[in-house]
Amino acid sequence: MDLSDHHLCANCGEAAFYDATITDPAYLAMSDETETTAPLAVLALCPACAKTHELIVVRRETDDEEIGTCESCSRRVAAGEPHTFGSDHEVLLCGKCSPTWQDLQSDPETFAILDELLTREQADRAVAHHLAGGGKLTDSMATPSGMADLKIEVDQA
């Protein structure tokens, strides 16, 4: 074990040490506010309690409906959380993996609204509208509705 850390024992409250050389983003999110992955919930038992007790994991009751798993990073996406869908409504990307406005500006022909590929002019108008509202090209295009509320006109203005 190169490094160690501890949590309090879930049973008696004493220190329970564990290997801390973990680099999983969800683990790092427990103490790093800049990490965008949802943090893990870590429970541990001290050596004495581990002899007489066990930790059992059960699914938490929640009102958050899961809408799917990000195709890029495999993170679960809950309803109301920023995300995007592909034009076929089958490819789901979380907010972190979703395209940016720069992606739309750079390659508009890969985006579709209502199964119709966007033209360069439509993409330019949408990007200009986003920037005029104070947005940046580096902003994610993800929204809580999966881009359904984005104002990109398909008809010529």
How far lies 36's CA from each of 10, 17, 29, 69, 93, in Å? Answer: 26, 26, 7, 16, 14
Q: Which residue is associated with the tokens 């009751």? A: 61
Model pTM above 0.75: no
pLDDT attached to residue 58: 64
* SS3 at position 105: helix
pLDDT attached to residue 156: 44
| Cα–Cα dist 33/153, whole Å | 37
Tokens describing residue 53: 């007790």
pLDDT attached to residue 61: 56
- Which residue ranges make up each domain of the chain? 4-50, 66-132
Mean pLDDT by 10 residues, the chain (157 residues): 66 76 66 68 81 76 74 87 77 90 88 75 88 91 72 50
